[in-house]
Amino acid sequence: MQIQGRNAMVTGASSGLGSACVQRLLERGVRVVGLDLAPPRADLPWLGSEAYTHILTNVVEADSVQSAVQKAVEGLGRIDIAVCCAGVLHGERVVGREGPANLDAFRRVLDINVCGTFNVVRCVAAAMMKNTISDSDAEGDGAERGVIIMTSSIAAYDGQIGQAAYSASKGAVAAMTLPMAREFGQHGIRVVSVAPGVFETPMMQAASEKVRQPLLAQSVFPKRFGFPSEFADFVEQIIKNPMLNGSTLRLDGALHM
């Protein structure tokens, strides 16, 4: 899909990977609707830009997402690209010093990372299915109506002690990628997930040095954490390349935790 002139929805837009995608898409001439529980940081350069709209949204709530998608379609006419970055990290042993893990905490991680992502995809895909096909879309790639990018994690495959909830949630995102791509293929909508390694975002910056140092030590090359702009590079490639579909792609500098 050619990027310029498109309309995108990005969840988790107020921070980290989502924010980097907003920036990249705006730089490429895309109009962006950002969804997040939190307002955007006041120092973000695109605040006030006509090309950016922020809608305070809780991705786990059906009405909240449905209404945000409706507003986006009313405002922009259509949504071509969706990037789902809203998510939370959680670490807790299944059985800790105090006994069995907190079941509510497990449910919350699944709710935000899995149900929240599913909620956004179901609403945005329904909107994309109504997109009309322009001549340029019908030409090379054949009737492309949209591309949906979800965020899994290498924890889906290499989960560490304490990551049962997070790994389960990111494994679920990876697992729903292919059935979604198969279902939406007939509508010309692709679905791809990215499984990032460790990226320098507020989520990871909040981790203690005890967590960060071993991860850095296990990095192969480059021997550092990823930059959010490198995640945005990958998202841009996924949007552009029509052969990327139905897979969860690692972006991890060969880090295997």
Ligand X SMILES: NC(=O)c1ccc[n+]([C@@H]2O[C@H](COP(=O)([O-])OP(=O)(O)OC[C@H]3O[C@@H](n4cnc5c(N)ncnc54)[C@H](O)[C@@H]3O)[C@@H](O)[C@H]2O)c1
**Helix or strand holding residue 54 (H, E):** strand 52-56
Determine contact, residues 59/65, Cβ cutoff 8 Å.
yes
Beta bridge partners of 249: 194
Cβ atoms < 10 Å from Cβ of 159: 18
Candidates 26, 55, 85, 232: give the one binding ligand X (CB under 6 A): 85
Which residue lies nearer to ligand X by CB, 201 or 248? 201
Candidates 10, 18, 114, 144: give the one binding ligand X (CB under 6 A): 18
- Give the footprint of ligand X on residues 109-168 (CB under 6 A): 112, 116, 151, 153
Q: Tell me the longest C-alpha to C-alpha distance in the chain.
A: 62
Beta bridge partners of 9: 33, 82
**At closest approach, how far in Å is the CB of 12 from ligand X?**
3
Candidates 59, 120, 127, 180: give the one binding ligand X (CB under 6 A): 59
- Give the footprint of ligand X on residues 182-221 (CB under 6 A): 196, 198-199, 201-204
Is 15 near ligand X (CB under 6 A)?
Answer: yes
∠ at Cα 13 (8, 17), nearest 5°?
100
Is 34 near ligand X (CB under 6 A)?
Answer: no
Which residue lies nearer to ligand X by CB, 60 or 147? 60
Determine contact, residues 160/93, Cβ cutoff 8 Å.
no
**At closest approach, how far in Å is the CB of 204 from ligand X?**
4
Is 33 near ligand X (CB under 6 A)?
Answer: no
Which residue lies nearer to ligand X by CB, 143 or 168? 168
* Catalytic positions, written as ranges: 166
The length of the chain in residues reads: 257
Report how far residue 34's alpha carbon sits from residue 43's, in angstroms, rounded to the nearest whole number: 16
**At closest approach, how far in Å is the CB of 125 from ligand X?**
18
Candidates 57, 193, 219, 248: give the one binding ligand X (CB under 6 A): 57
Q: Computed from CA positions of residues 178, 167, 65, 104, in that sequence, does the dihedral angle turn out positive or negative?
A: positive
Report how far residue 156's alpha carbon sits from residue 135's, in angstroms, rounded to the nearest whole number: 39
**At closest approach, how far in Å is the CB of 133 from ligand X?**
31
Candidates 1, 6, 12, 250: give the one binding ligand X (CB under 6 A): 12
Per-position DSSP letters for 58-112, written without gaps between them: -TT-HHHHHHHHHHHHHHHS---EEEE---------SEETTEE--HHHHHHHHII
Pick the piece of the chain touching ligand X (CB under 6 A) from 13-21, 47-55, 132-140, 180-188.
13-21
* Interface with ligand X (CB under 6 A): 11-12, 14-18, 36-38, 57-60, 85-89, 112, 116, 151, 153, 196, 198-199, 201-204
